[in-house]
Amino acid sequence: MKRLIRVLAQSDLATSQELLDRACGYDNLLGLAQEKLYAPGARDLVAEPLGAFRGETLLGVACTSGRWLRLLAVAPEHRGEGVGTELLQACERQIAAHSSLVRTLDQPGNYLSPGIDMRNNASISWLKRRGYEPAANACNLLIGLENNPLVSQVRFATLRIRCERQGYRILRLPKERLETDAATIAEVFSQGWAFEMRRSQHICDGVHVAIEAATGVLAGFAAHDGNNAGRGWFGPTGILEPHRGRGLGAALLMACLLDVREAGHVRCQVAWIGPREFYDKIAGIESERLFTVMRKELT
C-alpha cells in the first residue's frame, strides 16, 4: 500500500503522541504532542503538522512553523523505509512558502530543545546527507532539586530580603500586570520571551517579577514551563539594564526553582543558557546537555 503524507488533524493527536513517546530517545515528549504539533510559536507563527500514513497506520510525524523544522520523528519499526525523507521533503515545501532558509528546532517561543542533542549522531548525519549543515550550538543546564542545600525556602527568603532592602519587591506576577509587563519584555528583550512569559502565566502561574517598590516599574522577571509545559523547564529570565547587579536575578531564579520542585520535579532544566557561572553559583549545576542547530538553504 502506498504511503500518504497529509496534514495531521486533531483527531490524530492520540496516535501521534504514542508514536512520539516511542520514537524520541533524547527528549521526553510525554504529553507534549499537542504543544509541539499544533500550538503556534512567537509572532503568531502557526504550526503546520504532517503525518506519513500507510492506510490507517501512522508511520511518522513532523511539524514546521515559519522557517523552522520544529519536529520530525519516525516510528522505530518503520525507519529505513524512506518515511523520514518523504516527510522532510514535504516540510521543506511548506517552509519554502515562508523562507528560503530552514532551521532545526530552535523556534522562539515553542521548541522541543534548542537544537539536536549532540549525542544523536544518527540524526545529525542523516540531515547532513540531505544538505544540512551546523549553524549554531546551544547548551541546557540541569539543576538538581532534591537534597540541594542551595535551593530552599530559607535561601529564597534571604535573597528576597536583600532585594527589599535595595527598594525592590519580589512577587508572583499579578494578573493585572500581565499585558503591560509582557509588552515591556517584548520591547526590551524579544517577542519570543514575551510569548513564553504569557504561556507560563496561563499554564501554571509560573512568572515571578521584581518591581521597583517606589515606582511600580518592572525591573526583572523569570518564568518556567512556558515552553515544554509540565517538564520543569526554566526560562526565559531577564533583568532590565538599570537594575542589574543587585541580586534580583538570583531571587527570581530561586522562586522558580522552588515552584518546579513543588510540582514534583527532581531537577530543573535551564534552557538556552547565558551566564553559566551565575547558575552554578546560585543553584549548582548537576549536568548539561549540548545541542547543534542545523540549517539548509532551499533552492
Q: Are residues 151 and 285 in the same domain?
A: yes
Q: Are residues 189 and 116 in the same domain?
A: no
Average model confidence (pLDDT) across the chain: 97
Q: Are residues 94 and 155 in the same domain?
A: no
Q: Are residues 263 and 150 in the same domain?
A: yes
Is the pLDDT at 62 greater than 90? The verdict is yes
Is the pLDDT at 274 greater than 80? The verdict is no
Give the domain range for residue 269: 143-290
Q: Residue 28's pLDDT is what?
A: 84
Residue count of the chain, please give it. Answer: 299
Q: Are residues 76 and 147 in the same domain?
A: no
Structure confidence at residue 191 as a pLDDT band (50, 70, 90): very high
CA angle 20, 46, 232 (to 5 degrees): 50
Q: Residue 178's pLDDT is what?
A: 97
Is the pLDDT at 184 greater than 90? The verdict is yes
Q: Are residues 188 and 279 in the same domain?
A: yes
Q: Are residues 74 and 179 in the same domain?
A: no
Structure confidence at residue 30 as a pLDDT band (50, 70, 90): confident
Q: Residue 185's pLDDT is what?
A: 98
Return the percentage of the chain with pLDDT > 70, whole number.
100
Is the pLDDT at 275 greater than 90? The verdict is no
pLDDT in tens, 102-136: 999 999 999 999 999 999 999 999 999 999 999 99
Is the pLDDT at 43 greater than 90? The verdict is yes
Q: Are residues 153 and 275 in the same domain?
A: yes
Q: Picking from 128-142, 223-237, 264-278, which range would have the lowest pLDDT averaged per residue?
A: 264-278
Q: Are residues 286 and 151 in the same domain?
A: yes
Q: Residue 20's pLDDT is what?
A: 97
Per the structure, the count of domains in the chain is 2
The reported pTM is: 0.95
Which residue did the predictor score with more confidence, 28 or 10? 10
pLDDT in tens, 236-245: 999 999 999 9
Q: Are residues 189 and 101 in the same domain?
A: no
pLDDT in tens, 148-172: 999 999 999 999 999 999 999 999 9
Q: Are residues 128 and 197 in the same domain?
A: no
Q: What is the CATH number of the domain that holds 128?
A: 3.40.630.30
As a whole number of angstroms, the distance between CA 239 and CA 221 comes to 7
pLDDT in tens, 83-109: 999 999 999 999 999 999 999 999 999
As a whole number of angstroms, the distance between CA 266 and CA 140 comes to 16
> What average pLDDT does the segment 16-25 reach?
95
As a whole number of angstroms, the distance between CA 260 and CA 267 comes to 8
Is the pLDDT at 11 greater than 90? The verdict is yes
Other CB atoms within 10 Å distance of the CB of residue 87: 24
SS (H, E, C) the chain: CCEEEEECCHHHHHHHHHHHHHHCCCCCCCCCHHHHHHCCCHHHCCCEEEEEEECCEEEEEEEEECCEEEEEEECHHHCCCCHHHHHHHHHHHHHHCCCCEEEECCCCCCCCCCCEECCCHHHHHHHHCCCCEEEEEEEEEEEECCCCCCCCHHHHHHHHHHHHHCCEEEEECCHHHHHHHHHHHHHHCCHHHHHHHHHHHHHHCCEEEEEECCCCCEEEEEEECCCCCCCCEEEEEEECHHHCCCCHHHHHHHHHHHHHHHCCCCEEEECCCCCHHHHHHHCCCCEEEEEEEEEEECC
Q: Are residues 40 and 167 in the same domain?
A: no
Is the pLDDT at 1 greater than 80? The verdict is no
